[in-house]
Amino acid sequence: MKQFLIALIVLGSLILTGCPKAKKTVREFKEKSAEVTIYARNLNQAFNKAFIDGVITRDELRLYGTVDTAFGKALAAYRAGIEAAEKVVNETGELPKDTILKVDRLLDSVVTAFLDLTVKLGVMSFAQSETVRTILRGIQMLLLSLKAFVADARGAYGLEVNYV
């Protein structure tokens, strides 16, 4: 009986120390998902309005749309990955390393798709403006900070960190 109680205490301690860390990681993944969605929504709305007002051409809106569509697919996969990771945490109290790596790869594809979007914006005629170039660099820095976040998450789980 005594051994059983000790085992229960040890198991409880493991769950109490492991679970918050896993939940914190899932929460951070969710925050990044919401943040990147905010920017994508705002850009979409700005470009739609610009087209309606005659500021950009149909071809420019279409070019923007092709990249945003790719970004949207990556984002949908990332959101599904977070949902699956949260389910694992709720069921087991832990976030397995392979789940972290999977969500990490999905976030990476989201970031890559968004970076592609900023590159495509950079070749449009309006991007000759220094202001736009500065803004695009700002977005790219934000995206690179997301990569740094993933590196932190990997480091916290003792995984290999190979981001710049």
Partner 1 sequence: MSDIFRGFEIARRVAEAIAAGRIEAAAVGDMTDEQLAEFDKDVYAEYLASQKEREDLLAEPTPPEKPEE
Cβ proximity of 143 and 115 under 8 Å: yes
Longest alpha-carbon distance in the chain: 78
What part of residues 95-134 is at the interface with partner 1 (CB under 8 A)? Answer: 121, 125-129, 131-132
Cβ proximity of 88 and 53 under 8 Å: no
Task: Confirm or reject binding of residue 163 to partner 1 (CB under 8 A).
Answer: no
Cβ proximity of 46 and 64 under 8 Å: no
**Candidates 6-14, 25-33, 96-104, 154-162; binding stretch for partner 1 (CB under 8 A):** 25-33
Cβ proximity of 111 and 69 under 8 Å: no
Closest CA to 26 of 84, 74, 73: 84
Q: State the minimum distance, in angstroms, from the CB of residue 47 to partner 1.
A: 7
What part of residues 36-95 is at the interface with partner 1 (CB under 8 A)? Answer: 37-52, 54-56, 58, 61-62, 65, 68-69, 72, 75, 79
> Rule CB under 8 A: which residues touch partner 1?
27, 30-31, 33-35, 37-52, 54-56, 58, 61-62, 65, 68-69, 72, 75, 79, 121, 125-129, 131-132, 135, 138-139
